[in-house]
Chain A
């Protein structure tokens, strides 16, 4: 631990490689106490309403466990199923030695000032773990909620899908309706072990002045699958993240899907990197970005290190009304025998598509909304119906604001 602190201290002023720099001192960091709730049904109606927009349901219908953190305090952490653990990370660090094997093992603590801040002033976060062979049928839901104006929330999450397990997680990051300004710094480390399957769906539902810096790295062993979905449709000031996954076992698979909407004033720099390190590994990155005034950078990077890997990157952008989209797809094949491809397209809605729908009786606005919704409707194989429903809902909800 002291080692980590030392490294973090050295990186305390280290600016990130990409994304606008943030003055971290301008955000408060002292703990904001909230009482623990035995039943998340006891959350205030206002909080519930905001959380549901990020896919977190206080009724816990069709959920196998829940984790809720408000500001710096954990309100609730519970597993409803055997073989599933949902533990606040601070508790895990105190109680379990095994956590040492995962804590800061994928993300380097001295990556930049944001990783350093989370190490030096950790508020909390979750450890979600599916024990070997356990199939967690319903998704686990986690909510990282910000209520205190001007707070910088420092989070560290660790997800472990043990050998042969199956785990689905939805994480909703949301803010109270009144909150305007805040900072969320989140570290996530994903461990997908042999033949395990993990789907991780993150819905961001932020406020207009929110700054977000996420640092996440995953690792997938032989025969494992990591499915990583990211949905951000609501206004935000600045988000920068570049989640990376290492496919370290034969036949490991990673797939990223992201749906982004850039509102006026938003700066979104969203990437995805998958490193294919073993034979027969496969990777796919699909991104759909729409802007109606925001600036979006959609990055994708695939690195093929051994022969016999397959990777495809698809990045499509739609500029509805002002704003910019910068698609940066990168492929790096380091040996012969890799099969890697990408397609990228940025444009506006084709007039002929609008007229086609209008000639079937739709108004121009309805036609535009239908095309936009279609653009954002990406089939994600392997996603449980509950999570598909949450994504559909986020999309439905967004087009009301967008038009």
Chain B
């Protein structure tokens, strides 16, 4: 379980997250909406542990352990993984090596790569010259290898062409144990009840909702979580009346 209590965060001198309370139970996936600059990415980076996002109040607890001041790598080892929107390029480090790093070596990188149609990129430097969609597939491949328990997705569908959107959506569904398949052993209800993976997905377009089911939608506005509801309802509301309406709920 991820518990965020009264979290306050500054970036430089600017307060960017204000008194955030959020709880994600094992098996739950939440979708995070919000206008540009509302603090969505900051929230993900703070959960991942980027030190420039300075926690000035409140705490983050993951799997019963307080991680508010834990270094990034220890959070990763504890089971938190992030799919970046714009990850850096690392010259001279091959994609294949990165997959092994994520999996701590115990992985068949080639077989994993096939699943996201990424085999031909395995000898390329990480993210070097990748298109928007290639970056997303690379990030998903890394998360597949890492196999974290809490998966944070920063706009996984941005820059992805229509051809790849279903591949990306369905892969996220699988990572979050939200794919549906016929399984002689277990009923769909049993599979749902046995879900353990937690997800927090930032989306702008809502496309991802066509592929991944979610339990809750959260709306972040000006650093505050102002609305928790059914994700489709929030999305429809934003689509029809815009974020401008959010200010009335934020007061």
Q: Could you tell me which A residues sit within 8 Å of B by CB distance? A: 350, 352-353, 355-364, 367, 370-371, 373-378
Instruction: Evaluate contact between A359 and B82: CB separation under 8 angstroms.
Output: yes
Report yes or no: B146 in contact with A360, Cβ–Cβ below 8 A: yes
Bound-state CA distance A363–B75 (Å) is 11
In the complex, B90 has a CB within 8 A of chain A:
yes
By a CB distance below 8 angstroms, the chain B residues around A373 are 92-93
Q: List 29 A-B contacts (CB under 8 A).
A: A352-B88, A353-B90, A356-B87, A356-B90, A357-B90, A357-B101, A358-B71, A359-B76, A360-B76, A360-B102, A360-B142, A361-B76, A361-B77, A361-B101, A361-B104, A361-B146, A362-B73, A363-B73, A364-B73, A370-B93, A370-B97, A370-B101, A373-B92, A373-B93, A374-B90, A374-B92, A375-B91, A375-B92, A377-B92
Name the contact of A361 in the complex, choosing from B50, B73, B93 (C-beta under 8 A): B73
Residues of B within 8 A of A364 (CB): 71, 73
- Residues A353 and B88 in contact, CB atoms below 8 Å apart: yes
Number of chain B residues whose Cβ lies closer than 8 Å to a Cβ of chain A: 26
Query: Chain B residues in contact with chain A, CB under 8 A?
Result: 48-50, 71-73, 75-77, 81-82, 84, 87-88, 90-93, 97-98, 101-102, 104, 125, 142, 146
Q: Name the residue of chain A whose CB is nearest to the CB of B91.
A: A374
Kindly state the separation between the CA atoms of A356 and B48 in the bound complex, as whole angstroms. 10
Minimum CB–CB distance for B27 against chain A, Å: 23
Tell me the complex Cα distance, A97–B77, Å: 69
User: Helix, strand, loop or mixed for chain A's interface?
Assistant: helix
A377 to B136, CA, bound (A): 25
Q: How far is the CA of A83 from the CA of B87 in the complex (A)?
A: 52
Given A370-B93, A370-B101, A374-B93, A359-B88 contact (CB < 8 Å): no
Closest A residue to B145 using CB positions = A360
**Given contacts A361-B102, A364-B71, A370-B101, could you give 5 more A-B pairs where the C-beta distance is less than 8 Å?**
A356-B90, A358-B72, A359-B76, A374-B125, A377-B92
- Tell me whether A358 and B73 are in contact (CB under 8 A): yes
> For residue B91, which residues in chain A have a CB less than 8 angstroms away from its CB?
374-375
Q: Which residue of A lies closest to B86 (CB)?
A: A352
Q: A356 contacts which chain B residues (CB < 8 A)?
A: 84, 87-88, 90
Give Cα distance in the complex from A310 to B87, angstroms.
34
Which residues from B are CB-within-8-Å of A353? 88, 90
